[in-house]
Amino acid sequence: MTLENLFDLCKDLELRQAKIYASFSLILGDVDERIAKFWERMSAEEWQHYILVDFGRTLCIGVFGMDTPLRKVEATGSPSPIAPIPDISVQRITDALNSHETKIESGRISLDEAFEIAIAIEGSEADTIYLYLLSIIRQAIKESDRPFLMNRIVQVERDMESHVDGLVQATLKFAKDTSLIRKAHRLKEEHN
């Protein structure tokens, strides 16, 4: 996988997640206005992630070049300027998103099912990819000697924590299934 492949993958994942949350707003918005606004906010936050990926691509092109190969942790050989990519299954991530999208396309989804999907998305390896990409962007900022851009990354990391906190709070407030509330609490623990 090259750096360009990673950016393309991450943009695709963020876009798909934004669309899933936007669909929840449309499908479940008539349940309660607060629920519609919550899913709209979740979608908007994913769009912000998508925009940051594009910002990072521009920065990394100048510092690393987009053809830079990403090596696995266990790989040997010539050193890469970029930290090794975590061991993740892109196929598992895309299969899960495909399954969620198919369920949503049916138009028959409950609020608890939407929370179940959102918790699965936010706890998936897609977050690992995004955090890895942020580490590369952070490295590019350092190497380009543009420390003023670091505040943007720090804010994104705070926003990610707030994003998960918002999901947890909404699950506590609106979900009826107690197992979802436990899953939400575990998600929060994993993100802290």
**Residue 91 burial (CB count, 10 A):** 8
The pLDDT of residue 181 is above 50 = yes
Lowest mean pLDDT among 76-90, 97-111, 141-155: 76-90
Residue 80 pLDDT:
60
Q: What is the CA radius of gyration of the chain?
A: 18
Cα distances from 41 to residues 18, 37, 137, 183, in angstroms, run 10, 6, 25, 21
The CATH class of the 3-191 domain is: mainly alpha
Identify the CA nearest to 122 among candidates 87, 83, 171, 155: 171
- The whole model's pTM is what? 0.89
The pLDDT of residue 34 is above 80 = yes
- Beta-bridge partner residues of 72: 85
**Residue 148 burial (CB count, 10 A):** 7
The pLDDT of residue 142 is above 70 = yes
Residue 68 pLDDT level (bands cut at 50, 70, 90): confident
What is d(CA 180, CA 168) in angstroms, rounded to the nearest whole number?
9
Report the pLDDT averaged over residues 51-65. 89
Residue 47 pLDDT:
93
Decide if 15 contacts 7 (C-beta within 8 A): no
